[in-house]
């Protein structure tokens, strides 16, 4: 299933992606217009993954039923940002701080501990951003 079909069929599109040159602007007007008018869009990843002005228009012009956004290209969100003028009944904005909750801190601590123990066992960490470095790391060990 390609992205266009997924967008056309999904009731909820929840974006969870790393920001890279390839994913910057991943969701824009074209993608939002492919979604059903009853669909919801969620971005809790990175603001730069989406065209934020297009998300605001999608909500206001009812291309989609609504959106919830927890990550912005610029934080704090500027007062003149398009999200600030979007329909607050259809666009939920939350501060990007899920990791600051007690549960988030525990999860991050557990993940960090797992990675440290893996390296101690001579294994590469599971969440390596630059996997090409693993070969170099193994040569040093």
Of the candidates 75, 105, 106, 114, the residue annotated as catalytic is 75
100 is catalytic: no
75 is catalytic: yes
Of the candidates 31, 34, 46, 52, the residue annotated as catalytic is 46
CA–CA gap between residue 58 and residue 50 (Å, rounded)? 12
Give yes or no for a cis peptide into 76 (omega within 30° of 0): yes
46 is catalytic: yes
- Alpha helices by DSSP H, listed for the chain, are 3-9, 29-34, 52-60, 82-85, 102-120, 132-140
Annotated catalytic sites, by residue?
46, 75, 96
């Amino acid at each position: 299933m390609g992205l266009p079909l997924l967008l056309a069929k999904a009731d909820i599109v929840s974006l969870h992606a790393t920001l890279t040159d390839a994913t910057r602007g991943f969701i824009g007007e074209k993608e939002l217009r492919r979604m059903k008018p009853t669909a919801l869009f969620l971005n809790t990843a990175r603001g730069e993954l989406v065209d934020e002005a297009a998300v605001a228009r999608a909500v206001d012009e009812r291309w989609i039923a609504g959106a919830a956004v927890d990550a912005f290209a610029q934080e704090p969100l500027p007062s003149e940002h398009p999200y600030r003028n979007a329909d607050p009944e259809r666009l939920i904005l939350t501060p990007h701080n899920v990791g600051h909750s007690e549960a988030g801190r525990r999860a991050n601590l557990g993940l960090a501990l797992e990675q440290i123990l893996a390296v101690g066992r001579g294994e590469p960490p599971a969440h390596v951003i630059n996997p090409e470095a693993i070969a170099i790391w193994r040569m040093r060990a």
